[in-house]
Homo-oligomer: A and B are copies of this chain.
Amino acid sequence: MEYTLDTAQAGRFEICGRDGAARAGRLYTAHGVIETPVFMPVGTSGSVKALAPDDLHNLKAAVILGNTYHLHLRPGDDLIARRGGLHCFSAWDKAILTDSGGFQAFSLSALSRISEEGVTFRSHLDGSKHLFTPEKVMSIQANLNSDIMMVLDVCLPYGTLRAAACESVGRTTRWALRSLDFAPRERRAGRLLFAITQGAFFPELRAASAEQLAGYDFDGFAVGGLSVGESRAEMHDLVNFTAPLLPADKPRYLMGVGTPEDIVTGIAAGLDMFDCVLPTRNARNGTLFTSGGRINIKRREFAEDDGPLDPECSCYTCRTFSRAYLRHLFKAGEILSFRLNSLHNLAYYLNLARGAREAVLDGRFAAFRARIAEIYGENDSGSESE
């Protein structure tokens, strides 16, 4: 296995084409070039669930996520550092983006408490007490050998009142600047550092957050705090409002969102990078994304369906098995079902982003978007079922 490490170019971002606000770009990392728009499969605990690195290579994934919270608690980022970092440990030689762990510290842990210093929380595994500070999560991500590090941010639940949201914007900015102060050595080693904008569902706070951060030398800017329970329209409105406020010459990352239509909406607004557990989590529930829309493979109508899951897809699952067999595996609770379904759903999402990129370069993104909206718009069951 080859672990390319081109630290000299790391952080360079080229925009190769535009179509409206949508962009096609290239982001250089120490572990290869990421063509954007890009979908990034989520590998929470050092494994994209049910898949091996060779599966992800076959899907031509360029970057996967690792979760700082999960890996810090188990097996420990220090243990991973002693193995040479997450690439060596998990045998993945392309890029890795790690989140800051803040979202999980707030959402998975009981008794999380926030102060100016950082977030104190108890492990959901064994109840042990931990403190995440902006500096601490940088050093954890460095231990993981992350290519793209995210700053610690303040994550708010849906329905947070304006005063609390306003306070959290200021703190998120201060934490981002502490991260920036802490990061020079890591960035010289080729790691990128992305800031996260917050502001809950108040446009003026979103604007303030973007404005406070945009002037600083981050390698990219993310939109955080979405997909937390809001309506689809509300989310799309905020995406459209926020995207143009982020620096145009840097990669823009929409965190943890969403359905195929959400992603294409984000691309249309000028966002470049996307991650979500939806394709893999849905795969394990039997909900599969196809060029004709969502299907639930457990439905009786597929019992004797000899066609491929998605006739327009060329993934191993679609090339090899019938819907009838995939339904059988799911109904029988076979472990193989998780792998084959995950493989296909990720193929769908990765191809969606690649298809959007080609459409942008060919100047036909509007038609591309309209087609996805037709399939995955109003009629799609949306995020609420996941």
- By a beta-carbon cutoff of 8 Å, the part of chain A in contact with chain B is 1, 45-47, 49-54, 70, 74-75, 79, 82-83, 89-91, 303-304, 306, 316, 320-322, 324-325, 327-329, 331-332, 334-336, 338-340
Contact call B336/A52, Cβ cutoff below 8 A: yes
Contact call A79/B304, Cβ cutoff below 8 A: yes
19 extra interface residue pairs, beta carbon distance < 8 Å, beyond A45-B332, A45-B334, A79-B304:
A45-B328, A46-B325, A46-B329, A47-B329, A47-B334, A47-B336, A49-B335, A50-B336, A52-B336, A52-B339, A53-B320, A54-B320, A70-B332, A75-B324, A75-B328, A79-B303, A89-B322, A91-B325, A335-B335
A329: nearest chain-B partner, CB-CB? B47
Q: Which residues on B sit within 8 Å (CB–CB) of A338?
A: 335
Most buried by B among A74, A322, A336: A336
Please list 11 pairs of residues, one from A and one from B, whose beta carbons are closer than 8 Å in the complex, sorted by A's number.
A46-B332, A47-B329, A47-B332, A51-B336, A70-B332, A75-B303, A75-B328, A79-B303, A83-B306, A83-B322, A335-B338
Which of B70, B74, B90, B303 touches A325 (beta carbons < 8 Å)?
Answer: B90
A329: min CB distance to chain B, Å: 6
Q: Which residues on B sit within 8 Å (CB–CB) of A79?
A: 303-304, 324
Which of B1, B74, B303, B324 touches A332 (beta carbons < 8 Å)?
Answer: B74
Q: Which residues on B sit within 8 Å (CB–CB) of A45?
A: 328, 332, 334
Contact call B320/A91, Cβ cutoff below 8 A: yes
Q: Which residues on B sit within 8 Å (CB–CB) of A90?
A: 325
A336: min CB distance to chain B, Å: 5
